């Protein structure tokens, strides 16, 4: 089992520069993670000089830890065609950033449920945008992982493909591509949907398992992993039965300090071991 983490609990500190990305890498190493994940918002400045020195400055080798995934907020459902082109250009730049960092996965999202957006046009715009981004990812050896998502940190609206049926429609339209799935263990609960039923539909395409938890069904209130409503042990049992050997990534959003990270990691390691028991 290879374990990474997306430090949502640290977003405010990193975005405001009260803390640094290097601080997060050091904490990840201290916690015993195999890798760390990042948000694109960790890297607001990306001129050529910055990109050239970024990996060395982040000191992955010093901490003996790897970068795993870069979380992006692609919005291919914007009603303005010019804006959708900007989104594609931005996502290609994010893919380049992941390559510079050494991360081999980029988490992508469909886009926001903008007012007045029709289902057919939304699905069309998303599949077109994903196909064009996949071309860029292929040239860099990056795997794009499409998440069953809720709402991006910089967004105004919920994800257009949040309902299971739309998420699956988009995946089916891209069945001929190497698009993978970043499967989130809790997001379907926001709409009262069945996490395990969705997993069964996409399990062969999961490349990163996002381990996240919510206090209760129907409410988007993150809690420490293992203390809420997400059926994490059951998800693990299915993944192990399918011989999954990819990445597990904890989405730590409980805002309970370093102890929250440590407890989430301990829970995941134990639950993963127990899922293999006869």
In tens, the pLDDT along 43-96 reads: 887 766 666 656 666 677 788 889 999 999 999 999 999 999 999 999 999 999
pTM greater than the 0.85 cutoff: yes
pLDDT of amino acid 51: 60
Exposure on the CB side of residue 188, measured as CA atoms within 13 A: 23
* Sequence ranges of the domains in the chain: 2-275
Each residue's pLDDT tens digit, 219-233: 999 999 999 999 999
Give the start-end residues of each E strand in the chain. Answer: 2-6, 35-39, 66-71, 105-108, 143-147, 180-184, 206-211, 214-216, 219-222, 247-251
- As a CATH number, domain 2-275 is 3.20.20.150
Length of the chain, in residues:
278
State the pLDDT at residue 57: 64
* Residue-level pLDDT at 50: 61
- Report strand pairing: 66-71 vs 105-108: parallel
For the chain, residues with pLDDT lower than 70 are 47-58, 277-278
Alpha helices in 16-118 (DSSP H): 21-30, 48-58, 60-63, 81-101
d(CA 167, CA 190): 14
């Amino acid at each position: 089992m290879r374990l990474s983490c997306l430090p949502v609990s640290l977003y405010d500190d990193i975005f405001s520069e009260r803390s640094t990305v290097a601080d997060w890498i050091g904490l990840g190493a201290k916690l015993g993670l195999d890798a760390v994940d990042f948000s694109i918002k960790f890297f607001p400045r990306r001129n050529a000089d910055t990109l050239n020195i970024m990996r060395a400055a982040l000191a992955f080798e010093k901490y003996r830890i790897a970068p795993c995934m870069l979380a992006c907020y692609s919005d291919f459902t914007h009603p303005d065609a010019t804006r959708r082109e900007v989104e594609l250009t931005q996502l290609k730049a994010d893919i380049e950033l992941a390559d510079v960092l050494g991360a081999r996965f980029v988490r992508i999202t469909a886009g926001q449920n903008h007012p007045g957006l029709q289902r057919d046009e939304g699905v069309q715009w998303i599949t077109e945008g994903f196909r064009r981004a996949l071309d860029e990812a292929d040239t860099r050896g990056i795997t794009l992982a499409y998440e069953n998502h809720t709402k991006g940190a910089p967004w105004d609206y919920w994800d257009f493909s949040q309902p299971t049926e739309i998420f699956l429609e988009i995946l089916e339209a891209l069945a001929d591509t190497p698009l993978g799935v970043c499967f989130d263990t809790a997001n379907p609960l926001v709409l009262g949907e069945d996490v395990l039923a969705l997993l069964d539909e996409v399990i062969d395409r999961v490349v990163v398992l996002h381990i996240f938890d919510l206090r209760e069904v129907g409410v988007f209130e993150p809690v420490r992993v293992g203390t809420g409503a997400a059926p994490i042990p059951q998800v693990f049992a299915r993944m192990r039965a399918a011989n999954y050997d990819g990445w597990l990534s904890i989405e730590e959003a409980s805002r309970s300090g370093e102890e929250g990270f440590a407890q989430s990691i301990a829970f995941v390691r134990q639950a993963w071991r127990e899922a293999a028991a006869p």
